Amino acid sequence: MPTEIVFETHSWSEDNDRGIATGWLPGRLSPRGRALAAELGQRRRDDGIAAVFTSDLRRAAETADIAFSGTPIPVLHDWRLRECNYGHRNGMPAAELHEHRNRYLDEPYPGGESWRQAVHRVGRFLDDLPLLWAHQRILVIGHVATRWTLDHRINGVRLEDLINADFAWREGWEYRIADPRDRQDGTLPAQTSAG
């Protein structure tokens, strides 16, 4: 049985309402976001989830806390699941920040990181996942960089294609990773995800 990863974005934040690219700033859920987080919990509490991994940024951690409060499902915070660090541009208007996003595929944002560096960071989380969670179904709550890493590392989607695509929200994405111990070369094998 492969390790199953369900990915959900953090719920709607006050910065989303204002059109701000929060980046590595903590952010806070809006009233709408808190309601969406509760709906996430209703969708996923009985979905066979063994553990929830969330970015440690406030908006993602708050999403997990609301969704899984009162359940026995462990919620684990991991800084590697953070959004891309926009550096000096954290907190600027999202439309302005993302207008030239492809420029920062390999070039870091001033004082921050590139999208490729962010995907590499999140990828280290994926590398560690089978150590304790192989053959289980886990939920990951994160950001654009988190989802791009899953699409890139598991489904083989090129970052050059992801950076130019619009982020279309939906109620979860599902991915499957075969156990690397089942492979002779020790690499992290991917299996096709089920949307």
- Which amino acids are annotated catalytic? 10, 83
Q: What is the CA radius of gyration of the chain?
A: 16
Encoded tokens for 136: 């289980």
Separation of alpha carbons 13 and 67, rounded Å: 15
Going through the chain in order, the beta strands assigned E by DSSP cover 3-9, 20-21, 51-54, 75-77, 92-93, 137-142, 173-177, 190-191
Separation of alpha carbons 132 and 12, rounded Å: 31
The residue written with tokens 């990773």 in the block is: 177
- φ, ψ for residue 126 (rounded to 5)? -60, -40
Cα–Cα distances in Å, from 137 out to 6, 80, 104, 130, 140?
A: 7, 19, 33, 11, 10
